[in-house]
Amino acid sequence: MSFHTPPPKHPLPRVQPTYAARDLTEGGDQAQIVLGDQIYTLRITRAGKLILTK
């Protein structure tokens, strides 16, 4: 007879895909992102901020 209980199972943390904004814009300052039938524009401002517009 064993009194050993297995350690509790914890789900592994989900790793989110990570992309460099400069890779998405291929070194420029804008990229288009498609979601379904909608096209969005990702823009890097001169201040280094990101703006996503429809």
**pLDDT for 1:** 55
Residue 14's pLDDT is what?
Answer: 83
Phi then psi for residue 32, to 5 deg, are -105, 140
Structure tokens at 15: 């790793």
Q: Are 30 and 50 in contact (CB under 8 A)?
A: no
pLDDT in tens, 1-54: 566 777 778 877 888 999 999 999 999 999 999 999 999 999 999 999 999 999
Q: What integer pLDDT is reported at residue 22 of this predicted model?
A: 95
- What pTM value is reported for the model? 0.69
pLDDT at 38: 98
